[in-house]
Amino acid sequence: MSRRRHIFISHHHADDAHVSRLTQMLGRNSYEIRNSSIRAKPANQRRIDEGRISDQTLKRLLRMKMAWASTVVVLVGKNTHNRPWVDWEINKANQLGKRIVGVFERGGTDNDVPDAFKDYGDALVSWNSNNIIDAIEGRCDPFENPDGTPRQPDSNFPHTNCGGR
């Protein structure tokens, strides 16, 4: 039986392939993701690079797409922490009261975690479908290192430890 969830995947656009891998991996576990995030198609990216789409327009579009989602998933890869739009999306998700789940891409490191996620993240998990699903569902709020070992949350607000995981 498939479980469908509406999520917004915040990511560096160079990591678009990881977005597809994440949805495919979860799909193999009967977990259907309806992703409302924006992908940088070449024509769209060119218009952005040329300044033909204002930041205000992008923010309005991102707010609308994020409002539809129940959870914001942040893909944490090697350049995620340098992306101002990822930080903006995390801050906006917090303002909208969305659950914010970080997922380390394969090869991601602790240094890649965005500052805004450190302030507002609800769970941070390795590239493991069961842990990702549990975090999206809110069954537990684990904080893991990229290798899946437990870690302490970066923020000061309380989190559960998911039964010692």
Cα–Cα dist 136/101, whole Å: 7
> What was the pLDDT predicted at 132?
95
Express each pLDDT in 33-64 by its tens digit: 888 787 667 777 787 778 888 889 889 989 99
Query: Roughly how many angstroms between the first and final C-alpha of the chain, as a whole number?
Result: 26
> What was the pLDDT predicted at 164?
45
> What was the pLDDT predicted at 103?
97
Place of tokens 């990229």: 146
Q: Which domains does the chain have, with CATH numbers?
A: 3-137 (3.40.50.9200)
Which long-range CB contacts under 8 A does 45-51 form with residues at least 24 apart? 45/13
**Low-confidence residues of the chain, pLDDT below 50?**
158, 161, 164-165
Classify burial at 93, counting beta carbons within 10 Å of its beta carbon; exposed 0-12, middle 13-18, buried 19 or more: buried
Measure Cα distances from 40 to 17, 27, 110 in Å.
11, 23, 26
> What was the pLDDT predicted at 15?
81
Return the DSSP state at 39: P
> What was the pLDDT predicted at 163?
52
> What was the pLDDT predicted at 76?
95
